[in-house]
Structure 1
Amino acid sequence: MTFSDYVAPPQHELINVRRTSLNVETIWHERGPRLEVPLTLVSAAAVVRNPFAGRYEPDLLQFQTTLRSLGSFLAHQLTSALDGREVAVYGKGAIVGTDGELEHGAVWHEAGGWALREALGEPKAIVPSSKAIGNPGQRLLIPLHSTRAAYVRSHFNTVEVGIQDAPRRDEILFALAVGTGGRVHARVGGLSADEVQGNDGLR
């Protein structure tokens, strides 16, 4: 992705973006044979003000729906960084600052997952997720699995995300992640990618 591809993140009464991050990892081997084409893992994150910091809000659904635009923005960052390469794995995650609650990160289940699946042509497998309460610099491992079938064992993986000064107490870090394949030296059996029937998102 070049600077000319840059699109500003969405801004809304409920979405105040302080900073974003895009990270690309290229993995050639894990001490085994070197790959001819490396595995690429990409994560995109946005740090936003938590509109409910320090108080209990019973209705989070408007925030959840509004966050779809942020999910679409991050999904675009991911697909642009892959420059046309096929996405084989995906995942999502959130870190909520300490003035928030875990449920403020749970809105990302629908908003981030919906946006990522829409950007990728509606793959059937559920988008795996993790979330945590944390301080600035907290790292989060986002689980990955196959976009086509969750039982593809070779594609179980993780991407680490985090930003040095986020989330602050009144912020939330939302992230999406994708990759071009499974683990580089996967060899523990299970359903293989070429055996996927693709009917139910599981097998």
Structure 2
Amino acid sequence: MSSYDIRKTALSIETIWHERGPRLEKPLLIGTAVVVIRNPFAGRFEPNLMPFQAALRELGRELATRLIAQIGGASQIEAYGKGIIVGEDGELEHGAVWHEAGGQGMREVLGQPKAIVPAAKTIGGAGTRLMVPLGHIHAAYVRSHFGTAEMTLWDAPRRDEIAFGLVMATGGRPHARIGGLAVSEISVHDGQR
């Protein structure tokens, strides 16, 4: 991976067969990929974070590529999101660089879907649990694909680290039945409908 001081990476895949309803013919897979790097700005204010954001684009692409391979290929991905946990010696803005870097990395590897990549970010210590929102990759109004994936590492982030994460899923919630735009009804291709 990139030239950043990476301490560790983690990939996890959940395999979901049902949510107390009928067993799915094909399980829903939800994958989470996390990379933990040393925060180059821990303990100090940096007025220009744009070079850091630009340099992380490669990391976003690499992490997305690894996660997609674990889930079974780009054609399988229907939902995505991203998450950031900044260690206590950093600031939320140090994690905000992942909005563009991680989001664009996923989009490039997935063929440039237009829907916004939902995100969650926080400041926290080792073992912080972050629930990362998921949304459909082509249309934000597909309610069946509103979901979450947990991003957590027992030993990260440390005070001077940042945990950057990407999440992807092969479908929406099992047995979704609350209406809204169906995947088969996506037609505008503007990232909304």
Output the CA distance in 1 between the equivalents of 2:131 and 2:54: 25
> Which residue does 2:85 correspond to in 1?
95
Between stretches 31-40 and 85-94, larger displacement belongs to: 85-94
> What secondary structure does 1:95 align onto?
strand
Aligned with 1:10 (options 2, 14, 29)? 2
Residue 180 (structure 2) pairs with residue 187 (structure 1): no
Output the CA distance in 2 between the equivalents of 1:140 and 1:17: 20
Aligned with 1:136 (options 126, 133, 145)? 126
Residue 154 (structure 2) pairs with residue 171 (structure 1): no
Aligned with 1:49 (options 33, 38, 55)? 38
Point out 4+ residue stretches in structure 1 off by more than 2 angstroms. none
Residue 50 (structure 2) pairs with residue 61 (structure 1): yes
Residue 187 (structure 2) pairs with residue 197 (structure 1): yes
TM-score with structure 1 setting the length: 0.93
Query: 1:156 deviation in Å?
Result: 0.1
Residue 62 (structure 2) pairs with residue 73 (structure 1): yes
> What secondary structure does 1:107 align onto?
helix
> Which residue does 2:152 correspond to in 1?
162
Between stretches 21-30 and 80-89, larger displacement belongs to: 80-89
- The CA RMSD over aligned residues, in Å, is 0.8
Q: Residues 134 and 167 of structure 1 are in contact (CA less than 8 Å); yes or no, is this contact kept in structure 2?
A: yes
Amino acid at match of 1:91: G
Query: 1:111 deviation in Å?
Result: 0.2
Query: 1:126 deviation in Å?
Result: 1.0
Residue 25 (structure 2) pairs with residue 33 (structure 1): no
Amino acid at match of 1:16: D
Residues 79-121 of structure 1: CA deviation (Å, up to 9, x unaligned): 1102235100000010000000000010000000000000000
User: How many aligned positions are there?
Assistant: 192
> Which residue does 1:3 correspond to in 2?
none
> What secondary structure does 2:32 align onto?
strand
Residues 6-33 of structure 1: CA deviation (Å, up to 9, x unaligned): xxx222xxx2100000000000000000
Q: Unpaired segments of 5 or more residues in structure 2?
A: none
Output the CA distance in 2 between the equivalents of 1:78 and 1:111: 16
> What secondary structure does 1:116 align onto?
helix
Identity of aligned residues (%): 59
Amino acid at match of 1:146: H
